[in-house]
Structure 1
Amino acid sequence: MEDCSPNIIDMWDFPRTPSSDCNGSEASEETEIAVNIGGVKHILYGDVLNRYPETRLAELVNRATHSTQEDLCALCDDYDDLKREFYFDRDPEAFKCILELYYYGEIHIKQGICPMRFIREMDYWGINAKYLDECCISSLNEVQTELAEIAEKVKTILDDLEEDATVTRGQRCQAFLWKLMEKPESSLAARVIAVVSFAFILLSSVVMCVGTIPELQVEDTQGNLVEHPTLESIETACIIWFTVEYILRFLSSSNQLRFVFSFMNIVDFLAIMPFYVVLILTHLGTAIMELANVQQAVQALRIMRIARIFKLARHSAGLQTLTFALKSSLKELGLLLMYMSVGIFLFSALGYTLEQSHPETMFTSIPQSFWWAIITMTTVGYGDIYPKTTLGRCNAAVSFLCGVIAIALPIHPIINNFVIVYSKQRVLETAAKHEIELMALRAKEEAQECPEAGRTASAGSSSVWDSAAVSASQSDTYIPLLGDPANVSKGQPAHKCKNN
Structure 2
Amino acid sequence: MASESRFSDVDSNGSEKNEDIEIIVNVGGVRQVLYGENLNRYPATRLAQLINCLSGGYDTIFSLCDDYDPGKREFYFDRDPDAFKCIIDIYYFGEIHMKKGICPICFKNEMEFWKVDLKFLDDCCKTHLSEKKEELEEIARRVQLILDDLGVDASENRWKRCQKYIWKLMEKPESSYSARVIAVLSFLFILISSVVMCLGTIPELQIVDSEGNHVEHPTLDNIETACIGWFTLEYVLRLISSPNKLYFVISFMNIIDVFAILPFYVSLILTHLGARMMELTNVQQAVQALRIMRIARIFKLARHSTGLQTLTYALKRSLKELGLLLMYLAVGIFVFSALGYTMEQSHPETLFKSIPQSFWWAIITMTTVGYGDIYPKTTLGKLNAATSFLCGVIAIALPIHPIINNFVRYYNKQRVLETAAKHELELMELYSGEGKIGGSKNELEDLMGEGKEHPSWSRQLKVSHSDTFIHLLSDEKHHRTRLQSCK
1:319-334 counterparts in 2 under 5 A? 319-334=308-323
Contact between 2:470 and 2:481, CA under 8 Å: does it hold in 1? no
Q: Structure 2: which amino acid aligns with 1:347?
A: F
Q: Does 1:472 align with 2:463?
A: yes
Q: Does 1:192 align with 2:181?
A: yes
Structure 2 gaps of 5+ residues are: 11-15, 438-451
The structure 2 residue matched to 1:393, chosen from 382, 391, 405, is 382
Partners of 1:241 and 1:462 in 2: CA distance? 28
Partners of 1:134 and 1:404 in 2: CA distance? 36
Structure 1 gaps of 5+ residues are: 5-17, 449-460, 494-500
Partners of 1:54 and 1:407 in 2: CA distance? 54
Normalising by structure 1, we get a TM-score of 0.87
Structure 1 residue 49 displacement after superposition: 2.0
1:106-137 C-alpha deviation (Å, 9 max, x unpaired): 22222221111111111112111111122211
335 and 366 in structure 1: CA distance in 2 versus 1, 3 angstrom threshold: same
The structure 1 residue matched to 2:344, chosen from 336, 355, 367, is 355
Q: Does 1:130 align with 2:119?
A: yes
Contact between 1:440 and 1:465, CA under 8 Å: does it hold in 2? no
Partners of 2:282 and 2:465 in 1: CA distance? 63
Corresponding residue of 2:207: 218
Higher RCO (C-alpha under 8 Å, 6+ residues apart): 2
Partners of 1:371 and 1:313 in 2: CA distance? 32
- Secondary structure of 1:42's partner? strand
Q: Does 1:74 align with 2:57?
A: no
Partners of 2:260 and 2:481 in 1: CA distance? 51
Q: Structure 2: which amino acid aligns with 1:246?
A: Y
The structure 2 residue matched to 1:482, chosen from 458, 463, 473, is 473
Structure 1 residue 484 displacement after superposition: 4.1
Structure 1 residue 19 displacement after superposition: 8.4
Q: Structure 1: which amino acid aligns with 2:92?
A: Y
Partners of 1:391 and 1:305 in 2: CA distance? 47
- Secondary structure of 1:108's partner? coil
Partners of 2:187 and 2:234 in 1: CA distance? 12
- Secondary structure of 1:487's partner? coil
Q: Structure 2: which amino acid aligns with 1:35?
A: V
1:376-409 C-alpha deviation (Å, 9 max, x unpaired): 1111111111111111111111111111111111
1:42-81 counterparts in 2 under 5 A? 42-64=32-54, 66-81=55-70
Partners of 1:282 and 1:245 in 2: CA distance? 25
Q: Does 1:182 align with 2:182?
A: no
Moved more, 123-132 or 276-285: 123-132
Q: Structure 2: which amino acid aligns with 1:328?
A: R
Corresponding residue of 1:7: none
Structure 1 residue 70 displacement after superposition: 2.7
Corresponding residue of 2:442: none
- Secondary structure of 2:88's partner? helix
Corresponding residue of 1:451: none
Partners of 1:119 and 1:382 in 2: CA distance? 58
Structure 1 residue 34 displacement after superposition: 2.5
304 and 196 in structure 1: CA distance in 2 versus 1, 3 angstrom threshold: same
Structure 1 residue 258 displacement after superposition: 1.0
Structure 1 residue 468 displacement after superposition: 2.8
Corresponding residue of 1:404: 393
Partners of 1:468 and 1:236 in 2: CA distance? 46
- Secondary structure of 1:61's partner? coil
- Secondary structure of 2:89's partner? helix
The structure 2 residue matched to 1:115, chosen from 104, 119, 125, is 104
Partners of 2:156 and 2:340 in 1: CA distance? 72
Contact between 2:42 and 2:48, CA under 8 Å: does it hold in 1? yes
Structure 1 residue 300 displacement after superposition: 0.5
468 and 149 in structure 1: CA distance in 2 versus 1, 3 angstrom threshold: closer
Structure 1 residue 419 displacement after superposition: 1.0
- Secondary structure of 1:425's partner? helix
The number of residues matched between the two structures is 462
Partners of 1:485 and 1:353 in 2: CA distance? 75
Partners of 2:411 and 2:178 in 1: CA distance? 28
Q: Does 1:153 align with 2:142?
A: yes
1:177-199 C-alpha deviation (Å, 9 max, x unpaired): 00100010110000000000000
Q: Structure 2: which amino acid aligns with 1:62?
A: N
Corresponding residue of 1:454: none
Partners of 2:116 and 2:103 in 1: CA distance? 17
1:453-495 C-alpha deviation (Å, 9 max, x unpaired): xxxxxxxx9979723312213786454433448535x5599xx
- Secondary structure of 2:370's partner? coil
Q: Structure 2: which amino acid aligns with 1:108?
A: H
1:374-453 counterparts in 2 under 5 A? 374-444=363-433
Partners of 2:34 and 2:383 in 1: CA distance? 75
The two structures, once aligned, show a CA RMSD in angstroms of: 2.5
- Secondary structure of 1:247's partner? helix
Partners of 2:455 and 2:247 in 1: CA distance? 34
Structure 1 residue 446 displacement after superposition: 8.4
Structure 1 residue 201 displacement after superposition: 0.4
1:226-241 counterparts in 2 under 5 A? 226-241=215-230
1:300-319 counterparts in 2 under 5 A? 300-319=289-308
Structure 1 residue 374 displacement after superposition: 1.2
- Secondary structure of 1:248's partner? helix
157 and 446 in structure 1: CA distance in 2 versus 1, 3 angstrom threshold: closer
- Secondary structure of 2:188's partner? helix
Structure 1 residue 361 displacement after superposition: 1.2
Contact between 1:477 and 1:483, CA under 8 Å: does it hold in 2? no
113 and 323 in structure 1: CA distance in 2 versus 1, 3 angstrom threshold: same
392 and 112 in structure 1: CA distance in 2 versus 1, 3 angstrom threshold: same
Structure 1 residue 336 displacement after superposition: 1.0
Q: Does 1:278 align with 2:267?
A: yes
1:122-158 C-alpha deviation (Å, 9 max, x unpaired): 1112111111122211211111122222222122122
Q: Does 1:39 align with 2:10?
A: no
Normalising by structure 2, we get a TM-score of 0.89
Q: Structure 1: which amino acid aligns with 2:472?
A: L
Partners of 1:264 and 1:377 in 2: CA distance? 34
Partners of 1:42 and 1:465 in 2: CA distance? 51
278 and 78 in structure 1: CA distance in 2 versus 1, 3 angstrom threshold: same
Contact between 1:440 and 1:464, CA under 8 Å: does it hold in 2? no
Structure 1 residue 52 displacement after superposition: 1.5
Contact between 2:150 and 2:454, CA under 8 Å: does it hold in 1? no
Corresponding residue of 1:452: none
Q: Structure 2: which amino acid aligns with 1:55?
A: T
Q: Structure 2: which amino acid aligns with 1:468?
A: R
